[in-house]
Chains A and B, each alone.
Chain A
Amino acid sequence: MIISVASGKGGTGKTTVATNLALSVPNAQILDCDVEEPNSHIFIKPEIKSKEYVFIPVPKVNEAKCDGCGKCQEVCAYNAIAVVNKKVLIFPELCHGCGSCSYFCPQHAIKEVNKEIGFVETGKKRDLLFTQGKLNIGEAMSPPVIKAVKKHINSAQVNIIDAPPGTSCPVITAIKKSDFCILVTEPTPFGLNDLILAVEVLRKLSISFGVVINRSDLGDRKTDDYCRKENIAVLMKIPFKKEIASAYSKGIPAVEQFPEYKQRFKDLFNLINEK
């Protein structure tokens, strides 16, 4: 089973929900796919056991063979190549590693070489398995790292994916093939605006989903009204409590500080399992 936790708006509580859920259900694995700034480890505190590097293929030109025809520039969909004065300029940070340039080069002058863009670490905290990806600083292309994290999904387990914020490629890559997606939101105008965008994405991807409203006693009723109108299940509400925020700031998951939350997250899992 794969449950992803996404949000639209950042800072609504994805990691709070993902880590507490992972700590509350048996036979679980948490996969931190927010590879630009993975932070589940702060709450899980796993013992890291392995590290593997993630590479993407980028073009390298053999200048002795290249006649500067410009075909590579023409076929590159990502503007990662310029050819001026018969000289090929490559911009690796724009490259998506699709391989079109080397495939179409009439002179066979382009070879793809591996460029490291990040890494994946795996580990454990008691029975909970832990996997996280980290994109190297300065790299823009997070989906290959997210895909490398998702290779560690084990179908015999409850896999909980902590997704990046937003609604673009990294989010799609992270939540694709999930059995269920939890959308974490907050009852503010920004929270609702971005929730609506995220709902559109999930409907397009045909993934079942429900909403968790964090800091539910702040803001207004518009998020509730929207969910009712759209027939979206509100699975859980987490109140705005200083004690929860205080524990969070120390890296202590709510379920460890407040045992009653363990049951609440178990209930959340059971609710999803029934759907």
Chain B
Amino acid sequence: MKICITSQGDSLDSQVDSRFGRCQYFIIADTESSEFEAIENSNVSGMGGVGVQSGQFMAERAVRAVLTGNVGPNAFRVLQTAGINVITGVSGVVKTAIERYNKGELKPIQDPSVDSKFGMPGMGKT
């Protein structure tokens, strides 16, 4: 099963990026084989609608869950329609996040965790 972790770097030792739409990298990992792919996020400095765009990308890559810090309302609507589980509040090392997900420690949320524009430069990051 494929899941996506938003990451600040391109390896499993990188830190989880707390932003979804504007994360540095999407790490798409296979939970069974422990193989992964790091994809640089071209939406990092997009003008607007990056949550929608990043959500669309997740749907295209057919991931089953997204592990990240926060998700805004637009991205959440796309992910939810695509049937992708959204898990927020994830931090620390990517590898550990995957392990925790595999152990069933991380639970999906039912509502967006932050408002629009949260991931814009200069806005409150957590």
Q: Which residues of A contact B (CB under 8 A)?
A: 73, 78-85, 87, 89, 91, 94, 140
Contacts and interface: CB of A to CB of B under 8 A. Distances in A.
Nearest to A81: B52
23 contacts: A73-B56, A78-B48, A78-B49, A79-B46, A79-B53, A80-B49, A82-B53, A82-B56, A82-B78, A84-B55, A84-B59, A84-B81, A85-B81, A85-B82, A85-B83, A87-B81, A89-B52, A89-B81, A91-B74, A94-B48, A94-B49, A94-B52, A140-B48
Top-6 shortest CB links A-B: A79-B49, A84-B82, A84-B59, A82-B78, A94-B49, A79-B53
A98 B77 CA distance: 23
B47 to A, nearest CB: 8
Nearest to B73: A91
B50 interface: yes
A38 B107 CA distance: 46
B83 A82 contact: no
A94 B74 contact: yes
Interface residues of B, number: 16
Contact of A84 (B50, B56, B74): B56
B26 to A, nearest CB: 16
Contact of A83 (B46, B56, B74, B77): B56
Contacts of B59: 82, 84-85
A87 B82 CA distance: 9
Interface in B79-99: 81-83
A78 B52 CA distance: 10
A85 B48 CA distance: 23
A175 B81 CA distance: 42
Contacts of B78: 82, 84, 89
Nearest to B21: A79
A127 to B, nearest CB: 43
B78 to A, nearest CB: 4
B98 to A, nearest CB: 24
Contact of B49 (A83, A85, A87, A91): A91
A82 B48 contact: no
Nearest to A96: B48
